Each structure stands twice: as C-alpha cells, then as structure tokens.
C-alpha cells in the first residue's frame, strides 16, 4: 500500500523535474518548483505514517509556509518590481 | 476501520497529484499548466493530509495534519495567483489557440 | 477589541498546534505558555491585524461560513474531475482565454476569498484584480465572452454566500 503511494509520488516528482528541465520560460520553471514544493508535503505525510513520528508533520507545516513565502518572493522578482510594494 | 478509510483518502489524493503532474507536462501553455497543476495538487495534497488526520485521530499528529491541510488550502491558490500575474506582466504569451484576451485589450486601451 | 480578536485567533492556533489534551490529563504548562506568548504578540501587532473587528462577533457569519464549506469543497472536487478528464483525453479538449468579470463585493478579505474560490473551482484561474471590482479570469474552456454573462456563470454561486459572510 505504502509502496504504491511512494511510486505515484516519485513519478509525480519526475514529471515536475521534466518540466523544470524543459520549460521554455522562467515562469514555467517557477510553477514546477511550486508544485514540487507541495509534493514534499505529501512525502512528509507518507514518512510520518510509515514511522508514526509526529515531527515529520511539523516539517510539513513549516515546509508549506516557507514554500509559499519563497514563491511570493520569486513572483515579485519575475514581475520586475521591488520587494516593498 | 479508520485505517482503511484513511488509506483510501491518501490513494485518491495521490492519484489526483498524478493527474495534476500529467497536466503540467501535457498542456501547451503556462496558464493552462498552472490551472491544472494548482487545482489537482492542492486538493490531492489536502486529501492526503486529511487521510493522515483520519488515521491518527484527535492526537498531536492528527491535529498537525489538519492544520497543514488548512494552510495548503489557503496558501496554494494565492501563490498561483501571484505567479499568473507575474508571468503575465513579464510577457509570457497565451497559447496561439486562445479565444479571447480581455486583459490585453484593456491594457492597450489605456 | 482588535487585540482581543488577534489574541483569540493566536491562542486557537497554538492550541491546535500543540494539542495538550491527552487521555485523562490536560497539559496546563503548554496552555499557560501559549497564553503568555499570544498576549504579548497581540499587544505588539494588534493594530496591524484587521480593519473591522466587530465582524468577528456576529454568530450569523459563522453559520454562513459553515454552509459555504460543503458548497466550496463539492465544486472543488468537480473541478478536479474536470481537469482529470481534460488532461487524460487524447486530443486535449481545451479552448482557453482570459475573460473579464465584475463583482459587487467591496472589502479586501471578501475579494481575496472570492479570488481563491475562483482559482479552485472548475476551469477558472484569477489572473489580475482591478481596484474597481473587475477581475480578469483565465478560463480553460471559454463559453461566454460577454462580461455580464461570464459573471453569471462564474461568480454568482459564491457571491451571495460570500456577501453574507464578509460584508
């Protein structure tokens, strides 16, 4: 059961990596980075169920929030404006 | 019993993740890719976290999974919105089969 | 007032994050530390939090918010099935375009919630938000170009509920 879920998630990550390697513009790569960041939350859930430890879910919360802040900064940079408005 | 329901949620979520990533590879244009990927991956990951919440029950782990599901559900569309706007401003074109572009018309009008 | 609302929200977040209710005993130390920390944080950052704190007190809004949740989740699920159908179809049945819609919601939190709901529901993605109540929406299968008709199709089902929650 767990093996099937891990196989699905790993193939998702490889599809995202394909888009990062292939993407014609920088924005495509940013989108794929965003999706890959949410994938990591899914891996955290799987590892947490496998081991029964709770700090992997803490890692998942922190990762989701940091991914959000990082994507916002990246999109401000792509938009070509400063970080202050 | 709870474990089976939780694993059903997790497998359905992982399948939606897979559909979203196939969309990320197959669709022709940034906005379509963003659309497919954001919808499917958000609901898929929320489904996985909700399955973990059902498996763990009302414990420390379960409540953390629930809180993380709420965070993902709130932050993911916001970052998609920011990326779509940033890539439109930075000049990413729509697919050539697009029907209408009201935003471009309004920018040219002003 | 504002500080009280922020204190309550932070304390709720802390309780959910720590979850100090074990089988029999309650961990009073965690609750006490959370109360102290959220008191000082709300004392410092209370002024930045919200524009109209009296909206948090009316019970009716919470009722409509609970009613809004299943509507939103159901259309979110339908959106996922829609995307799965379009992606797995061999010939990619898409017909994309950016349309313009008009909303009558005024407050910032209501427009944010509307934009997030539009992003997660079938076939649409908010691209830009204008100051005067116009939203630019990327639609994966354009059915209507006109502003009013597109508004009817995309926003009407959420707008009535969101108006009762946030306005």
**Per-position DSSP letters for B38-105, written without gaps between them:** HHHHHHHHHHHHHHHHHHH-SSHHHHHHHHHHHHHHHHHHHHHHHHHHHHHHTTPPPPTT---BHHHH
Contact B60, B87 (CB under 8 A): no
What distance in Å separates residue A66's CA from the closest CA in chain B?
11
Contact C99 B81 (CB under 8 A): no
| C-alpha distance from residue B40 to each of A36, A40, A72, C97 (Å) | 13, 15, 20, 20
Testing the interface with B: which of C27, C76, C81, C87 to mutate, by most B Cβ within 10 A? C87
Partner residue opposite A64 with nearest CB, options B13, B68, B82: B68
pTM for the whole structure: 0.89
Partner residue opposite B100 with nearest CB, options C116, C128, C142: C142
Task: Say yes or no: C102 contacts chain B, CB-CB below 8 A.
Answer: no
The whole-number average pLDDT for the span C65-71 is 88
Partner residue opposite B18 with nearest CB, options A1, A12, A68: A12
> Cα(B91)–Cα(A22) distance, rounded to whole angstroms?
19
Looking at this predicted complex, what is its ipTM?
Answer: 0.86
pLDDT of A10 higher than 90: yes
Per CB-CB distance under 8 Å, the chain B contacts of A36 are: none
In 3D space, the residue among C17, C126, C136, C166 whose CA is nearest the CA of residue B77 turns out to be C126
Contact C19 B60 (CB under 8 A): yes
Task: Say yes or no: A57 contacts chain B, CB-CB below 8 A.
Answer: yes
Per CB-CB distance under 8 Å, the chain B contacts of A15 are: 21-22, 24-25
Contact B20, A13 (CB under 8 A): no
Structure confidence at residue A62 (pLDDT): 92
pLDDT in tens, A15-64: 999 999 987 888 888 889 889 999 999 999 999 998 988 889 999 999 99
Per CB-CB distance under 8 Å, the chain B contacts of C127 are: 31, 81, 84-85, 88, 103
Structure confidence at residue A70 (pLDDT): 92
| Per-residue confidence band for C87, with pLDDT thresholds at 50, 70 and 90 | confident
């Amino acid at each position: 059961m767990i093996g099937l879920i891990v196989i699905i998630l790993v193939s998702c990550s490889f599809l995202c990596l394909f888009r990062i390697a292939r993407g014609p513009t920088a924005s495509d790569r940013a989108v794929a980075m965003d999706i890959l960041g949410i994938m990591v939350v899914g891996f955290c859930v799987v590892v947490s169920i496998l081991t029964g430890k709770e700090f992997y879910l803490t890692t998942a919360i922190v990762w989701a929030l940091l991914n959000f802040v990082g994507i916002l900064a990246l999109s401000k940079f792509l938009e070509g404006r400063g970080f202050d408005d | 019993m709870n474990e089976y329901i939780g694993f059903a949620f997790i497998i359905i979520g992982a399948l939606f993740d897979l559909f979203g990533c196939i969309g990320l590879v197959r669709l022709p244009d940034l906005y379509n890719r963003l659309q497919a990927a954001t919808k499917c991956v958000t609901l898929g990951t929320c489904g996985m976290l909700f399955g973990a919440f059902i498996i763990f029950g009302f414990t420390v782990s379960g409540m953390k999974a629930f809180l993380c599901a709420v965070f993902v559900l709130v932050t993911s569309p916001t970052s998609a919105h920011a990326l779509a706007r940033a890539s439109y401003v930075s000049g990413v074109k729509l697919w050539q089969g697009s029907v209408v572009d009201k935003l471009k018309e309004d920018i040219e009008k002003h | 007032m504002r500080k009280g609302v922020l204190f309550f929200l932070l304390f709720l977040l802390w309780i959910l994050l720590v979850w100090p209710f074990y089988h029999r005993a309650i961990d009073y130390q965690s609750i006490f530390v959370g109360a102290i920390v959220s008191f000082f944080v709300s004392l410092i950052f209370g002024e930045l939090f919200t524009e109209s704190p009296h909206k948090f007190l009316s019970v009716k809004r919470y009722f409509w918010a609970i009613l809004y949740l299943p509507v939103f989740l159901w259309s979110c699920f339908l959106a996922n099935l829609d995307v799965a159908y379009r992606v797995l179809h061999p010939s990619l049945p898409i017909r994309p375009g950016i349309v313009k819609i008009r909303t009558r919601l005024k407050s910032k939190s209501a427009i944010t919630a509307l934009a997030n709901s539009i992003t997660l529901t079938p076939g649409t993605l908010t691209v830009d938000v204008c100051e005067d109540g116009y939203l630019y929406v990327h639609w994966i299968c354009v059915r209507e170009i006109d502003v009013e008709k597109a508004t009817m199709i995309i926003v009407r089902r959420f707008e009535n509920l969101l108006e009762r929650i946030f306005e």
